[in-house]
Chains A and B, each alone.
Chain A
Amino acid sequence: NAGVMQNPRHLVRRRGQEARLRCSPMKGHSHVYWYRQLPEEGLKFMVYLQKENIIDESGMPKERFSAEFPKEGPSILRIQQVVRGDSAAYFCASSPISVNNEQFFGPGTRLTVL
Chain B
Amino acid sequence: TQLLEQSPQFLSIQEGENLTVYCNSSSVFSSLQWYRQEPGEGPVLLVTVVTGGEVKKLKRLTFQFGDARKDSSLHITAAQPGDTGLYLCAGRGSGNTPLVFGKGTRLSVIA
Contacts and interface: CB of A to CB of B under 8 A. Distances in A.
Interface stretch (A11-19, A52-60, A70-78): A52-60
Contact of B42 (A4, A42, A44, A56): A4
Interface in B30-55: 31, 33, 35, 40-45, 48, 50
A69 interface: no
Given A42-B104, A43-B88, A48 B42 contact: no
Given A33-B98, A43-B88, A59-B98, A104 B103 contact: no
Contact of B41 (A40, A100, A107): A107
B92 interface: yes
Interface residues of B, number: 24
A104 B45 contact: yes
Given A101-B31, A102-B33, A44 B45 contact: no
B45 A101 contact: no
A103 interface: yes
A100 B65 CA distance: 14
B50 A42 contact: no
Contacts of B31: 100-101
Contacts of B48: 100, 102
A50 B6 CA distance: 30
A42 B98 contact: no
Interface centre among B6, B98, B99 (most CB of A within 10 A): B98
**B43, B45, B90, most chain A CB atoms within 10 A:** B43
A42 B101 contact: yes
A91 B40 CA distance: 11
A41 B103 contact: yes
B100 interface: yes
A108 interface: yes
Interface in A1-23: 4, 6
Contact of B88 (A42, A55, A100, A106): A42
Interface of B: 6, 31, 33, 35, 40-45, 48, 50, 88, 90, 92, 96-104
